Structure 1
Amino acid sequence: MELAMIESCVPLNDNDLQELGDSSNSKEIDTPQVGMHFPSEEEARDFYKKYAQGLGFGISKMYSKKGDDGQQKYISYGCSKNGKSVYKGKSSFYPRPCSKTDCKARINIKVQDDGLFLINSIHLEHNHPLSPRKSRHFRCNKVLDSQTKRKLELNDQAGITLSKSFQSFVAEAGGYENLSYDERKCRNYVVEARRLRLGHGDAKALNNYFCRMQSRNSDFFYTIDVDEDCRIRNIFWADARCRASYEYFSDVITFDTTYLTNSYDMPFAPFVGVNHHGESVLLGCGLISSEDSETFIWLFKSWLTCMRGRTLIIAYVFGI
């Protein structure tokens, strides 16, 4: 690959040029071009991700738009340093650095009528230095495959420390640079796996309880969200009294995940309303594995299904 293919508004120093030279000698980097098309969004993203990894920057999804039919129409992937720097520190004595530089590098994709994902415009210039040797440290490039996940769980259950497990992966791969993840990524996964791993008989007891409650009253509602390994991730349930109360006291609902956590460190998420006496009434409950957007979308969709699609206004209580 010629260095002319690398467009950057920041001058590269000798070390950057050496890194790019080493990267170009090891493998060719295909540069995005207007008119390129891909059969799926995943392949388009993987192409841009590979290009970014070769040059030395991370990527993120910047924009997405759907048409009236609910199908994807426009997508934009760009440098992970896009956006302006925003101060996030809680104290001026301990500021949290922000890596955003308002970088404009991106590819814009249009979904054609035939289902192909077409690159219709690009911007390759960056306003920050690039470093191919540090590519594996970017969040978008840290990926754990299913085989590694399985080994981590088996080693954890066998009492093997995480550091020893990770060192075995390093030795097997032939060095840190050949891994698509780091020790922190492995540690986070093990912590999450422990949280989702119910004790002996707990999952069966939970399912038996829900089935027994539903057999007593057909208006008892519950739904369980599981991960790809069929482990319980999120739970929502509401009895007949909760569903009946919602019909009358659904003006404003509070949703608070700061109230309580159980022995598995799963936040308890109650839906609470106010009756005509000014008293709190329980309108549903959830146990969730994390407080991210995907989990909340699942929980609120489950809520709407339980309440027969009737919408509501929720006041979400944040912990401070």
Structure 2
Amino acid sequence: MIVSNSKANVGPSLTHQLCTQQLGGFQNVGATVKQFKNFQREMKCLMNSHDGEMFKSRLDTLAETKGLHFVYEKDSKNALTRIFWTNCDMQRAYALFGDGVSYDPTYGTNKYNMTFTPFTGIDHHKRSITFACALIEHENDESFMWVFDQFLAAMGGKEPNYIITDEDPGIIKAIQGELADEEVEEEGDEDEE
């Protein structure tokens, strides 16, 4: 019950109260509030050492059942450093509304200090729509280039007509690097003809 309730953001104290009500009194619970709190703390410690694996396992399940496409990279310590994901609905929305894309990395406020970087656009009802998302450990041109490469690959190579973003030098360098690579390929094709 502690595990199930913690998934719904119900803390150990309230869980203990619920158990007390269900079982007809404190004497029937078999544990104190402090023991409930200790169990939850130990559970979180155990989960923190395996959270990357749990996250990947969840994405694997979603890939099988919901058509999720994801790509990730790990460091030498087997910790996730970059992850990109999209699904069939997001890809379909991009095909319809992907002329313009907003790419705005958020401040890394999660406990892993990873930056959330969504690709968003506007649908025909003028509502925001998400095309893809990524979490990156470092906001540098290498990470942004990796994210843009994954985005283009997931979207079948279709580039947006324009990208709205902030003036982050890493993003600008990655976008210019992407364009420079394509120009070199096009020039190489012309030389062969």
- For Structure 1 versus Structure 2, the TM-score category normalised by the shorter chain is 0.5 to 0.7
| In 2: Cα distance, 1:263 partner to 1:229 partner | 18
For the residue of structure 2 that corresponds to 1:301, the secondary structure is helix
Moved segments of 4+, more than 4 Å = none
Q: Which residue of 2 aligns with 1:239?
A: 87
Count of equivalent residues: 121
Picking from 200, 216, 225, the partner of 2:73 is 225
Q: Which residue of 1 aligns with 2:153?
A: 305
Aligned pairs (5 A) from 1:1-320: 199-217=48-66, 219-258=67-106, 261-312=109-160, 313-318=162-167
What 5-or-longer segments of structure 2 have no aligned partner?
1-46, 169-193
| In 2: Cα distance, 1:207 partner to 1:308 partner | 24
Deviation at 1:303, TM superposition (A): 0.6
Instruction: Tell whether the 8 Å contact from 1:256 to 1:318 is kept in structure 2 after alignment.
Output: no
Larger RCO, structure (CA 8 Å, separation 6 or more): 2
| In 2: Cα distance, 1:260 partner to 1:271 partner | 16
Deviation at 1:305, TM superposition (A): 1.2
For the residue of structure 1 that corresponds to 2:112, the secondary structure is coil
Deviations 1:16-64 (A, max 9, x none): xxxxxxxxxxxxxxxxxxxxxxxxxxxxxxxxxxxxxxxxxxxxxxxxx
More helix by share: 2
| In 2: Cα distance, 1:246 partner to 1:277 partner | 15
Deviation at 1:261, TM superposition (A): 2.9
One-letter amino acid matched to 1:281:
I
- Return the index of the structure with the highest Cα Rg: 1
What 5-or-longer segments of structure 1 have no aligned partner?
1-197
For the residue of structure 2 that corresponds to 1:308, the secondary structure is coil
Instruction: Tell whether the 8 Å contact from 1:254 to 1:317 is kept in structure 2 after alignment.
Output: no
| In 2: Cα distance, 1:268 partner to 1:255 partner | 10
Identical residues among aligned pairs (%): 28
Q: Which residue of 2 aligns with 1:45?
A: none
Instruction: Tell whether the 8 Å contact from 1:258 to 1:318 is kept in structure 2 after alignment.
Output: no
Deviation at 1:230, TM superposition (A): 3.2
**Could you tell me the TM-score, scaled by structure 1's length?**
0.36
For the residue of structure 2 that corresponds to 1:234, the secondary structure is strand
Q: Which residue of 2 aligns with 1:153?
A: none
